[in-house]
Amino acid sequence: MSGKSSRIPKFYKLSIEERLRKVIEFAELNEDESKLLANFGNLDRKIADVMIENVVGGMTYPFAVATNFLINGREYLVPMVIEESSVVAAASNAARVMRRDGGIRSIATESIMIGQIQLVDVENPFYAKQIIIDHKDEIIKIANEQDPILVKLGGGAKDLEVRVIDTRIGPMVVTHLHVDVKDAMGANAVNTMTEAVAPYIEDWTGGRVYLRIITNLADKRLVRTRVKVYADDIGGEEVVDGIVAASAFAEADPYRAATHNKGIMNGIIAVALATGQDHRALEAGAHSYAAKDGWYTALSRWDKTPDGNLVGTMEMPMAVGIIGGAVKVHPIARIALKIMGVTTAKELAEIMGAVGLAQNFAALRALATEGIQRGHMKLHARNLAVMAGATGELIDKVASIMIKERRIRFDRAKELVEQFTKTRKL
Ligand code: MEV
């Protein structure tokens, strides 16, 4: 045992500086490391300190924009924050070949989120179900009393559904409250409503409520996206056939579907991070929706048209907001929304659907042709060159030599940078 302890009473009550000091001591960070960690970048330290608990510093990711997006007849520069190279370039390239037929069409439904209320210990679950349904108007009224502002905006609880499910500890009666959350992601509004309604449900049924929480399987808040890509823009019918085969593979095989959908989420999560969304909720929604029919499958589908071109479609939940949460407090999230000129959560969902489908297309096209590594490696090689100390023109010089040699490694990058710097000095 080192004598160090992670048990630090009232750590959360300390100032950022005091907490950082404790971390520095604990981890024996040197001066450079401590300075870097203490740098909050473009986020105000006071805002950071109230966003989450136990804040000690900040961490910056690159903020990029994908170009060429034409969605529902509107031009968009799409902000993306991501650590993976190639994603932004791939999205931009895909969006470029998606402009010819008028761009990407993407339509989101109304912002209906679902809150779940779990009722157990009822003698007659189906009887309890009917009791709850009989009180529908009252439940909706109680729910809406929790959020008059949302109701004023035309949102609020709208409907109710009650399900009886079998579980290993017996039947449960699960009430679904359907809430139109308008421009919010909606978790706060929905959770407050489910908590308010729960005691009444207990009262009426004599059962016991445990969980009262939003579901991330937001299957009433979907985005539907479609696009046509011309074969002659992407290397001919052979490429179209390759993409269709990749799609069929993912539709049939969950091992492939997981990676296929990961490619979709590369685009969606990058926009989600740039705009301060709850990206875990988006991931949960996407993957649960991909398994909604009892098996896990692809969220998108690519088909060949009779004239040999390619059409892609996708349907998935997209629970995003433009008010509340990090979107409200993080200045960069606000700037990201401004770059897109987004004024409603529905529009943001439509853009994110379009980016997901474009990202998916880019991955399948690369996989069906030259493979994914070439594009990846180019950026990876540049990254390594920079890490090895290359600047300016030297970055591309070192990167292209490593690619040619097929030796894309840090030690080689360092060797080359040293070589070039030496010869330059001579
Ligand atoms: C890598 O981040 C994403 C891909 O694996 C997606 C896919 O395989 O479709 C390339």
Q: Residue 13 burial (CB < 10 Å; 0-12/13-18/19+)? A: exposed
Mean pLDDT, rounded, for 90-98:
98
Of all residues in the chain, the percent with pLDDT exceeding 70 is: 99
CA nearest ligand 1 atom 9, residue: 260
pLDDT in tens, 66-76: 999 999 999 99
Domain with residues 112-214, CATH architecture:
2-Layer Sandwich (3.30)
Grade residue 377 by pLDDT with cuts at 50, 70 and 90. Answer: confident
Name residue 227's beta-bridge partners: 312
Grade residue 426 by pLDDT with cuts at 50, 70 and 90. Answer: low
How confident is the model at residue 300, as a pLDDT? 98
**CA torsion sign, 223 to 107 to 324 to 156?**
negative
* Burial letters 114-124, b for 16+ CB under 10 A, else e: bbbbbbbebee
Residue 2 has pLDDT above 70, yes or no: no
Please give the number of the atom of ligand 1 that sits closest to the Cα of 86: 2
pLDDT in tens, 286-332: 999 999 999 999 999 999 999 999 999 999 999 999 998 899 899 99
352 C-alpha vs ligand 1 centroid, how far in Å? 17
Name residue 24's beta-bridge partners: none
CA nearest ligand 1 atom 3, residue: 263
259 C-alpha vs ligand 1 centroid, how far in Å? 6
Evaluate whether 181 touches 208 at the Cβ level (below 8 Å): no
Q: Which of 163-172, 197-206, 236-245, 371-380 has the lowest mean pLDDT?
A: 371-380
Q: What is the Cα–Cα distance from 84 to 68, expressed in whole angstroms? A: 20
261 C-alpha vs ligand 1 centroid, how far in Å? 8
The residues near 53 (Cβ < 8 Å, ≥ 6 apart) are 12
How confident is the model at residue 425, as a pLDDT? 62
Find the residues whose C-beta lies inside 6 A of ligand 1: 84, 259-260, 262-263, 266, 363-364, 367, 372
CA nearest ligand 1 atom 6, residue: 263
How confident is the model at residue 77, as a pLDDT? 98
* Topology of the domain comprising 374-425: Helicase, Ruva Protein; domain 3 (1.10.8)
CA nearest ligand 1 atom 4, residue: 263
Q: What is the CATH number of domain 63-109+221-369?
A: 3.90.770.10
Please give the number of the atom of ligand 1 that sits closest to the Cα of 87: 2
Please give the number of the atom of ligand 1 that sits closest to the Cα of 266: 2
366 C-alpha vs ligand 1 centroid, how far in Å? 9
Residues with catalytic roles: 84, 262, 278, 376
pLDDT in tens, 106-151: 999 999 999 999 999 999 999 999 999 999 999 999 999 999 999 9
73 C-alpha vs ligand 1 centroid, how far in Å? 28
CA nearest ligand 1 atom 2, residue: 263
Q: Angle 345-368/237-252 helices, nearest 10 degrees? A: 110
* Residue to mutate, 253, 260, 264, 314, ligand 1, most ligand atoms under 8 Å from C-beta: 260
Total length of the chain: 426
For the chain, the domains span 1-60, 63-109+221-369, 112-214, 374-425
What pTM was estimated for this model as a whole?
0.91
340 C-alpha vs ligand 1 centroid, how far in Å? 26
* Residue to mutate, 80, 85, 262, 299, ligand 1, most ligand atoms under 8 Å from C-beta: 262
* Residue to mutate, 367, 369, 370, ligand 1, most ligand atoms under 8 Å from C-beta: 367
Evaluate whether 314 touches 222 at the Cβ level (below 8 Å): no
The residues near 133 (Cβ < 8 Å, ≥ 6 apart) are 160, 162
How confident is the model at residue 423, as a pLDDT? 81
Name residue 76's beta-bridge partners: 69
Phi, psi of 345 (to 5 degrees): -65, -35
Phi, psi of 225 (to 5 degrees): -130, 140
Please give the number of the atom of ligand 1 that sits closest to the Cα of 256: 8
Please give the number of the atom of ligand 1 that sits closest to the Cα of 263: 6
182 C-alpha vs ligand 1 centroid, how far in Å? 33
Q: Which of 224, 230, 267, 247 is nearest to 364 (CA)?
A: 247
Name residue 120's beta-bridge partners: 208
